[in-house]
C-alpha cells in the first residue's frame, strides 16, 4: 500500500481514494462516572508512565521502541509481536483537540485494526470515515445507539467535496470499532478523559509485506490530507440522542 514503506507522512489524493470496506462499530457498555474515570485514568497513566520511562522510549532487544506518538495522542505498545504471534497491542492516551486547537487527519492503515474506545466524564470521541459506519445492535444486549451525522470533509483540496460520516462515542462508555485494512478513519477526543486499546492483528505480517524497517504507527499509516485541520472542524458536536 505504501510508496515509501518507512515514510511517516505519506499522503494520498483524497479525491481519488475509495474505501476497501466499512468500519463496524459495536457499543459495549456504559459506566457510572466515578468508575469510568478510574478505568480511563488507569489506562492513561500506563501511557504517561511509558512516555517518562527511559526503557520504553529506547529500542529494546528486538529494536522496538514501545512509547510512540501519533496525531491523536501518545501511544504505548503494551504487548509486542514475537515469533509465532504476529499481533501487537497499543494503548493511546488521547489529546484533547480543544486544548491544542488541532484535529487529526483522515487516514488509512496498512493492516487491519481492532480498537476499543473508552471515555470518562465530560468527554466524547468523534469517529469519522469517508464511508458510512455499520453499527451493531443486538436487542436486549447493546446498551445504546450512538449518534451519527454527516458533514463535508474539511481538509479536502479546493474544488473537491467528500462526505464525512461521523459517529459520537458518548461520555463514560466503551465502544469497539473493527477497521479493515485500507479503510479511512479519524479519531478526535473532545474532553480530557479518552483512551483506546488497539489490537493490530497482522503487525508482523504487514511490516514484512510493506518491507518496513520497524514497528512504528506513523510508518504504517497513509494520510488523506497534508495538514492537521483546526479544532473547529472536529470539536463541535451537534446535539445527539439523550445521554449521547
Q: Largest Cα–Cα distance of the chain, in whole Å?
A: 50
From 38-47, 67-76, 151-160, the region with the lowest mean pLDDT? 151-160
| 12's grid cell | 494520498
Please report which confidence band the pLDDT of residue 243 belongs to, taking 50, 70 and 90 as the band edges: very low
CA distances from 210 to 54, 177, 214, 215 (A): 29, 24, 11, 11
**Residue 214: pLDDT band with limits 50, 70, 90:** confident
Residue 144 burial (C-beta neighbours within 10 Å; 0-12, 13-18, 19+): middle
What is the per-residue pLDDT across 80-127, written as a single tens digit (0 to 9) for each? 999 999 999 999 999 999 999 999 999 999 999 999 999 999 999 999
Query: How confident is residue 241, by pLDDT bands cut at 50, 70 and 90?
Result: low
Q: What domains can be seen in the chain, in order of their start residue?
A: 24-233 (2.60.120.10)
Backbone dihedral region of 243: left (phi > 0), alpha (psi from -120 to 50 degrees) or beta? left
At residue 244 the predicted structure's pLDDT band, cuts being 50, 70 and 90, is: low
Amino acid at each position: 500500500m505504501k510508496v515509501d514503506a518507512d515514510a511517516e507522512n505519506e499522503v494520498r489524493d483524497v479525491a481519488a481514494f475509495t474505501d476497501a470496506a466499512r468500519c463496524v462499530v459495536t457499543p459495549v457498555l456504559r459506566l457510572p462516572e466515578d468508575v469510568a474515570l478510574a478505568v480511563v485514568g488507569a489506562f492513561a497513566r500506563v501511557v504517561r508512565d511509558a512516555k517518562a520511562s527511559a526503557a520504553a522510549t529506547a529500542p529494546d532487544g528486538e529494536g522496538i521502541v514501545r512509547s510512540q506518538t501519533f496525531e491523536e495522542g501518545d501511544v504505548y505498545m503494551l504487548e509486542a509481536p514475537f515469533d509465532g504471534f504476529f499481533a501487537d497491542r497499543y494503548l493511546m492516551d488521547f489529546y484533547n483537540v480543544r486544548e491544542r486547537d488541532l484535529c487529526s487527519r483522515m487516514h488509512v492503515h496498512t493492516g487491519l485494526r481492532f480498537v476499543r474506545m473508552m471515555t470518562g466524564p465530560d468527554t466524547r470521541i468523534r469517529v469519522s470515515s469517508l464511508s458510512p459506519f455499520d453499527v451493531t445492535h443486538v436487542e436486549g444486549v447493546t446498551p445504546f445507539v450512538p449518534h451519527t451525522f454527516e458533514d463535508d470533509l474539511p481538509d479536502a483540496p479546493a474544488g473537491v467535496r467528500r462526505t464525512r460520516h461521523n459517529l459520537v462515542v458518548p461520555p463514560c462508555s466503551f465502544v469497539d470499532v473493527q477497521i479493515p485494512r485500507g479503510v479511512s478513519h479519524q479519531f478526535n477526543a473532545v474532553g480530557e478523559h479518552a483512551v483506546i486499546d488497539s489490537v493490530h492483528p497482522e503487525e508482523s505480517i504487514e511490516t514484512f509485506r510493506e518491507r518496513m524497517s520497524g514497528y512504528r504507527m506513523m510508518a504504517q499509516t497513509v494520510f488523506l490530507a497534508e495538514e492537521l485541520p483546526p479544532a473547529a472542524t472536529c470539536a463541535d458536536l451537534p446535539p445527539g440522542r439523550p445521554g449521547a
